Chains A and B, each alone.
Chain A
Amino acid sequence: MTAGDIGIRGRQRRPSYSPEAQRRLVIVTFLFVPLVSLILLNIYPVLQLIWISLSDFNGINWMRARFIGVRNYSDLLTRDSTLMLPIVNSLYYLFGSLVQIVLATWFAVILDMKLPGSRIFRTILFLPFVLNTVAAALVFRHFLQLDGTLNELLQNVFGVGFKIPWLDAKQNYTNFSLAAASVWRYLGFNLVVTFGALQAIPQDQYDAARLEGANDWQSFWRITFPSIRNVLFLQLALSVVGSLEVFEIPQLITNGAGKTSTFAIQMVQTGFQFHRAGTAAAMAVFMLLIVLVLYLVTQALQRYFDRPIAGASDG
C-alpha cells in the first residue's frame, strides 16, 4: 500500500502551499519528539554502555573514569569469572519455560474444545499475569515459605511429617521453586497467545478430517500442531532470551541471595551496589551479544522453515 502517492495526486489540486512541503513538514514534526526519545533513551544508552564497558567508571564520578581497553572483558573471563557464574541458573528458568509452553498448549487445546466452564478456567489461569509483580511475588513467598500454605497443606492433606524449605537460598533446588513461581505467573500469557492461534484455525479442516475418520490425536498432529507451530517457535525463542534475563522473581522472593542469583541480578549489584559500572557494562554488552546471536539464529531457523513469524515490516 504505497500511500506516498497522496502527495503526488494532491499536487493536481489547489494546495495552499506545495503538498511536498506540507508532506515534509508533517514528517518532521510528527517524528521529532519520538526520534529524540528513541535516540536519547534507547540508542544512546547502548552506545554509552559500550564506552563505559571500556572504562573503570564507578557509576558516580566521570572525572575519575579512565579508558582501560578490554580489561573489564578479560577480567570477566579470568579473575571476575564468579560474576558470570549465575548465568548457569538461567537453565532452571529455561526448563521452567519449556514446561510452561507445554502446559499452556495443553490447556489452550482443552479450552478450545469449548467444554462447559472453559471461560472460567481461562480467567483463573490468566489471572496471575495481571497481578502486580511485587504482590504476586509476595503471594508466592507466602505460599512457599517454611511455615507457608503449601507445607501446611502437605502436612494436613498428605501427612508429610516435616517442613520442606522450598525457598532456602543456600540450596540449588530453590531455583526450581523460583522457576515454578515464574511458570505460575506467566503461564496465562502463553495460554492466551496459543489459544488465539488455535481459534484462527478454520473449523471445516477438523470436520473434513473427522469425515476421513481421523481421531483427536491425529487431528492434533496433522492440523492443530502445524497451524500453531510458528507461534510455539516464537514463544520458545522468547523463553530462551527471557530465561537469560530473569531478574524480578528471584530478586523479590529470595533477594537473589546465595545460589538463587541470576545474571541480571549480579549485573545490577555489580553496577549499583559495588560501584563497578565498567564491569557491569561489560557484562551487559556480553549479554547483548548473546541475545543478538540468538536473535540471528532464530531468524535463520525461521527462514529455514520458510515461514515468516514475526513480520515486523509493514506494507
Chain B
Amino acid sequence: MARRRKLTPLKLAIRAFQYATLIFASLTVVVPLWSVLAGSFKTPLEYLNSSKSSPPADWLNFDNYKQVLFPQSGLPIGWAFANTIMVMVCAVALLVMFGAMVAFVLNRFRFPGRKLLLGAYAALVAVPSILTPVSTFQVLQFLGLANTRWALVVLYSGADIVSLLIFIQFIRSISTEVDDSARIEGANYFQIFFRLILPMLAPAIATVVILRCVYIYNDFVLPYLYASKPSESTVSMMLYNFSGVTATISQAVIMAAVILVIAPTIVGFFFLQRYIYAGITQGSVKG
C-alpha cells in the first residue's frame, strides 16, 4: 500500500498526461468563448483588423451591446427575453403541476390502464419532436396556436418522461403511511396531494424546474418550427434571425448578442451546477 503512494517516473508521466488532456479539452472550451467575448468589445473596424484571439483595445466599449439592446430597427433583444421568460414560467408551472399529479396517481393507485399509460409515456422517448413537425403543426393550427408563443407553452408543458420519472421516484420514497394517517384525520385525496405530497416534493420540483428551464432557454428546434415570427421569438430564434443578416451588421455586434444570451445561463450555472449534475444523473440512470 505504501508502495502506491510513491510517485514513480511512470506514474508521474501518466499523471502529467492526464492533466495535459484535461487542459487541452478545457482550452477547446475556453478559447472559442474567449474569442467571442473579446470580439464583442471590439469596434467593427478593430474586429476586422485585429487578431481573433487578442483582447479588445477597450474593455468598456459597449457600442455593440447598445446596438443589440436598443436597435435602430426591429425588436430589441429584451423582447425575446420577455417572451422566453413568459414561455418558461408558464410551461414549467404547468409541467410541474400536471407531472406531479400524474406521478401521484400512477404511484398511489392501481387502476385499469395504468400500465398502458406508463408504457405510453415511456414510448414517447422514441418519438422525438424533430420527426413529427408535419403533423404537430397541423394540430397546433387546429388549436389556433401555430406560430405563437403559446404553441411553445403547450409543447414544453407536455409529457416529459424524465420529469415524470424524477417525480415518481420521489413520491415512491414518501411512505404511504403519511397518506394513511392523513386519511384517519379525515383528509381527502386532494388535500393529501396538495397539502402533504406536493410540499414534500420540493427537492424533486427544484430539479425538474432547473432541468426544464435550461432545456427551454436553450432549445432551438421547437421555436424554429412553431414560433418563428419575430414578435413571438424566444432568444434562440432572435439570435438565429439576427445572425442571418450579416450583410448589414458587424460580426462584432452578433458576438455581443451571443454574450448577452449566454451570460445569464453561465451565471446561473455557476450557482446551480450541483443541482444540474444531480438532475442529469437521476434522470439518466432511470430514463
Instruction: Mark A residues whose CB is within 8 Å of B.
Output: 1-4, 6-7, 9-10, 13-14, 16, 22-23, 25-27, 30-31, 33-35, 37-38, 40-46, 48-49, 52, 59, 103, 106-107, 110, 115, 121, 123-128, 130-136, 138-140, 142-143, 147-149, 152-153, 156, 184, 187, 189, 192-193, 195-197, 210-211, 231, 234, 241, 245, 247-248, 251-252, 264, 267-268, 271-272, 277, 280-281, 284, 287-288, 291-292, 295, 310-315
Contact = CB atoms under 8 A, between A and B. Distances in A.
Contacts of A2: 110
B90 interface: no
A52 B132 CA distance: 11
Interface in B134-158: 134-139, 143, 154-155, 157-158
B135 A310 contact: no
A152 B51 contact: yes
Contacts of B35: 142-143, 149
Contact of B243 (A115, A125, A134, A288): A134
A123 B273 contact: yes
A20 to B, nearest CB: 11
A106 B281 CA distance: 18
Contacts of A4: 108-111
A46 B158 contact: no
Interface of B: 1, 4, 15, 18-19, 21-22, 25-26, 28-33, 35-36, 39, 51-53, 98-99, 101-102, 104-111, 117-118, 120-122, 124, 126-128, 130-139, 143, 154-155, 157-159, 161, 165, 168-169, 172, 176, 179-180, 183-184, 186, 188-190, 193, 214, 217-221, 224-225, 235-237, 239-240, 243, 251, 254-255, 258, 261-262, 265-266, 269-270, 273, 276-277, 280-281, 284-287
Given A133-B220, A192-B281, A13 B122 contact: no
25 contacts: A3-B109, A4-B109, A6-B179, A26-B105, A26-B109, A26-B188, A27-B105, A30-B102, A40-B143, A41-B139, A41-B159, A46-B127, A106-B21, A124-B30, A125-B26, A132-B217, A132-B235, A132-B262, A132-B265, A134-B235, A134-B236, A138-B36, A142-B52, A143-B35, A292-B126
A152 B54 CA distance: 11
A248 B255 CA distance: 19
A138 B239 contact: yes
Given A26-B189, A31-B117, 7 more contacts: A6-B179, A34-B101, A135-B262, A138-B254, A148-B52, A193-B281, A210-B4
A37 B98 contact: yes
A196 B254 contact: no
Given A281-B134, A292-B126, A313 B118 contact: yes
Contacts of B98: 33-34, 37
A210 B2 CA distance: 11
A132 B101 contact: no
Contact of A291 (B30, B126, B169): B126
B236 A142 contact: no
A31 B111 CA distance: 12
Given A6-B179, A30-B102, A197 B285 contact: yes
Contacts of B25: 103, 107, 121, 125, 187
B258 A138 contact: yes
Nearest to A156: B51
Q: Which of B107, B138, B143, B184 has the most CB of A within 10 A?
A: B138
A30 B104 contact: yes
A283 B162 CA distance: 27
A3 B176 contact: yes
B236 A132 contact: yes
Contact of A43 (B51, B120, B285): B120
